[in-house]
Structure 1
Amino acid sequence: MPIIRDLSHFPPSACHGAVAIGNFDGVHRGHLEIIRRLIQRALEVNGPAIVFTFDPHPVRLLRPEQCPPPLTWTERKAQLLAEHGVNKIVAYPTDEHLLGLSAHDFFDSIVRDLLQAKAMVEGPNFYFGHNREGNVELLSQLTASVGMSLDVVPPVEIDGALVSSSRIRGLIAAGEVATAKELLSAPYRIRGMVTHGAGRGAKLGFPTANLEAVDTLLPSIGVYAGRAWLDTISYPAAIHIGPNPTFGEAAFKVEIHLLDFEDTLYGQPLEVEFLARLRDVTNFRNEESLVNQLQDDVARTREIVG
């Protein structure tokens, strides 16, 4: 789905629908409840289901030192939202003009004038306007004053705790990717560019793609089972994050061994999703011990991905 970024030529096809505004970082199961209600309201008003998000996150401009690493990049977010029925994705190019708008001005200029919305759907912790001065109570008053419907969707709880981007971020940072997957709408995924490495993996019989320029949160140091995506084709993948102590290397690396793949990947973009954590990074006493462990990693990866 094309992402709408140029607001000076806003398409009429993205107007007169139901709108949900927010960051939707990770597109988790709490977000999906908002999306389900959004689609219902869009059908009722005979308009598109629209998600209005921000690129970059406003906190990155206001308080960059407090901005957490994202769980999804904008194109991935749009892909996930589209897969669940959203018709239009707007990624507002966050700037000082937007950040300076009062809550009332944001509602008037964005919701009414730009989007010409007929319905809104939000979570209970939605804030808008300068210094987050607007909340769902104020939004309820503003929508009511112009005859626009507003649905406030309750948060989702799983295992006795709220599903949130911050909770998922904590799980990913701890390497608990399987638990995080249960809270997300899809397995956690990162992207990067494949660069040249030392070539040591190939000599051992397990060639790896070295991934750099990852722009989202990395799981903690460890070995994982997952999938690597080249465009629309996926391959089972054993993923190593961290140093290589067996060879005396302390440098932090992201290395992906694609199973049943023999071509070169240098200079290509690669997406990698995580399904399970296999083990810690270990300092093996010799190459034979390492190879035996890698064989086990590959076997377990086939079983998990299969």
Structure 2
Amino acid sequence: MPPVTEIVYLDEFPGPAGTPSRTSPRGDTGARQSDLDRLQRGVLSIGNFDGVHLGHQSLLRRLRSMADELGGPSVAIVFDPHPAEILRPENPPPRLTTLPRRAELMSPLGIDFLLVCRTTQALLNLSPDDFFDRFIVSTLTARGMVEGPNFCFGKDRRGDIAMLRQRCDEQQMHLQIVTAADDGAEMISSSRIRQCLSQSDVASAAAMLGRPHRVSGIVVTGDQRGRKIGFPTANLDQWSTMPPSPGVYSGCVELESGARHPAAIHLGPNPTFETEMKLKFEIHVLDYSGSLYDQILAVDFIDHIRAVHSFASVDDLTAQLKRDVATTRRHYLNWMNR
């Protein structure tokens, strides 16, 4: 197995003579000097890496390759919260992946560290030159950088690739610009994946991610209606990443034990039984009969089956659920045998 990508938190952006905070407001340990020492003279890539999609993966493989060539650690850098949450708090982008999930997805690519820098207004106010000098040079003493063609840095995104190349040349740093990945139509991006999810197109999202989109949550007690009609469901709560739009989906789940099962997923209200249009996240796990209460369940969305709608009778609903299960099995087998 490849080494696990280690998360390091930097909670106070250091000045030229500053020292980083030792305690994170998240309850995690902030970056101590010993942590920063291990990141020195490495190869960096700065981005959001939300989703760790195929475009990110291409860039991260090149990051690993350059780190091997130069003999330093590979360091992917993200800013948390997303800068848009500070600059446009009324409309922040929903998350595709948590930070631990991003590190998990980076591990097979050989990335040594995921450096998580706390986003502050002071950080966002740094000019491109100040950002480069104080962070890339003084704090991390980077030997190289790998970025995409649309990379920008500094206040108001005024620093572009041309400026980055000039500053890297001045510091005798290696720089590689990786061509953006596309799917034959458009550039692959986290924004496009979010748009697909908002349109229930989880299959296109999966194609750009290189795997099904995942949402994890805790299984809680539900209304038990599904069990009474032969289709028991695990009811998910406290999910922290973007679910697709309401609908019925085929997918699979990963239990805390690591076991995987196909699953028919209902996301949305239950109009057959309720007038209240409350969003519910219900998963009928196939080929499983044990209790899942209080477990963390990872739900992977493979394809969209149908919209949510009301049925005239419980018998009509049951007949449709049987068809949904058959469709789920077919989609799951197609995905496993792709």
* Short-chain TM bin: over 0.9
Distance in 2 separating the partners of 1:86 and 1:32:
10
Which of 26, 32, 39 matches 1:8?
32
Letter in 1 for 2:8: I
Counterpart in the other structure of 1:109 = 134
Q: Aligned residue for 2:309?
A: 282
CA distance in 1 between partners of 2:107 and 2:140 (Å): 18
Deviations along 1:160-184, one digit per CA (max 9) or x if unpaired, are 2111111111111111111111111
Which residues of 2 match residues 154-165 of structure 1 at below 5 A? 154-165=179-190
Question: In the alignment, residue 262 of structure 2 is paired with which amino acid?
Answer: P
Q: Is the 8 A contact 1:126 1:136 kept in 2?
A: yes
Given that 1:227 and 1:272 are in contact with CA atoms closer than 8 Å, whether structure 2 keeps it comes out as yes
- 3-state SS of the aligned residue for 2:150? coil
| Equivalence for 2:96 | 71
1:266 aligns with 2:270: no
3-state SS of 1:183 partner: helix
**Aligned match of 2:26:** none
Which moves more between the two structures, 2-11 or 24-33?
A: 2-11
2: CA distance, partners of 1:260 / 1:108:
57
Q: Which whole-Å CA distance do the structure 2 matches of 1:264 and 1:105 have between them?
A: 55
Which amino acid in structure 2 is aligned with residue 221 of structure 1? Answer: P
Matched residue, 1:169: 194
Post-superposition Cα deviations, 1:89-142, rounded to whole Å, max 9, x if no partner, equal 111122233223221121122212222211100011111122222121111111
Q: Secondary structure in 2 aligned to 1:228?
A: strand
For 1:1-306, list aligned pairs within 5 A: 1=4, 2-5=6-9, 6-9=30-33, 10-231=35-256, 232-249=258-275, 250-306=277-333
Query: Aligned partners of 1:255, 1:170: CA distance in 2, in Å?
Result: 23
CA deviation after TM superposition for structure 1 residue 208, in Å: 1.0
Give the aligned residue type for 1:7. A
Structure 2 distance, partners of 1:67, 1:254, is 23
1:157 counterpart SS class: coil
State the TM-score, normalizing by the size of structure 2: 0.86
* Whole-angstrom CA distance in 2 between matches of 1:15 and 1:235: 43
Matched residue type, 1:87: D
Q: Could you tell me whether the CA contact under 8 Å between 1:32 and 1:185 is conserved in 2?
A: no
Whole-Å separation in 2 of the counterparts to 1:30 and 1:103? 25
From the two aligned structures, give the one with the greater strand fraction: 1
Cα 1:98–1:212 shift into 2, 3 Å: same
3-state SS, counterpart of residue 32 of structure 2: helix
How many residues align? The count is 306
2:90 counterpart SS class: helix
Residues 26-54 of structure 1: per-residue CA shift (max 9 Å, x gap) = 11111122112212211110112210112
Unmatched 5+ stretches in structure 2? 10-29, 334-338
Q: What do you get for the CA RMSD once the two structures are aligned?
A: 1.5
CA contact (8 A) 2:64 2:109 kept: no
2:240 is paired with a residue whose SS is coil
- Fraction of identical pairs, as percent: 42
What one-letter code is carried by the residue in structure 2 that aligns with 1:123?
G
CA distance in 1, matches of 2:81, 2:126: 17
- How far apart in 1 are the matches of 2:235 and 2:164? 47
* Shift of residue 11, structure 1, vs aligned partner: 4.1
Letter in 2 for 1:300: T
State the alpha-carbon separation in 1 of the partners of residues 46 and 37 from structure 2.
18
Separation in 1 of the partners of 2:197 and 2:75? 29
* Larger CA deviation: 10-19 vs 146-155: 10-19
Q: How far did 1:56 drift?
A: 1.4
